[in-house]
Amino acid sequence: MNQLKQILDKYSIYFSILVSFIISGLFTLTPLWQLTIIAGIFGGFLCLKMKHGALGSMIGVVLSWGIYILVKIIGNNTNVLFDQLGTLIIGSTGLGFLFILIVLIIGAIFGFLGGFIGSGIRILVENRIIEEKSDSN
């Protein structure tokens, strides 16, 4: 059991990336994209350090959203809509990639915040359990 805990602690950032990637991928299939922060919380909960939880969840969410955008661009000519929006707002054609970048940055922020919250919750819970054990002795 102790060996399993050591492995999970050593590779927690990779598990965090995987979990947040899978859960965020499932949430992209629903119209409620705001639930992505929950994917970040689950990913961050696996990490002992807040920076690992935040970074792992951010990477997982950005990968998930990036793959979703690539699939939509290849399948539905969504890049034309992004270029038209870029032309409308900026006034120049060919700048639709900026809006794709903005979408990915929003996903990164949601993943970062969720991972930060999730790893913070884990740290608080573990500290509380340690305090209760020391108080009972």
Domain boundaries, the chain: 2-136
**Contacts from 14-19 at CB under 8 Å and sequence distance 24+?**
14/56, 15/46, 15/56, 16/43, 16/44, 16/46, 16/47, 16/52, 16/53, 16/56, 16/57, 16/60, 16/115, 17/43, 17/56, 17/57, 17/59, 17/60, 17/63, 18/60, 19/43, 19/46, 19/60
Enter the pTM of the model.
0.85
Tens digit of each residue's pLDDT (9 = 90 or more) over 7-63: 777 888 999 999 999 999 999 888 888 899 999 999 999 988 899 999 999 999 999
Residue 73 binned pLDDT confidence (cut-offs 50, 70, 90): confident
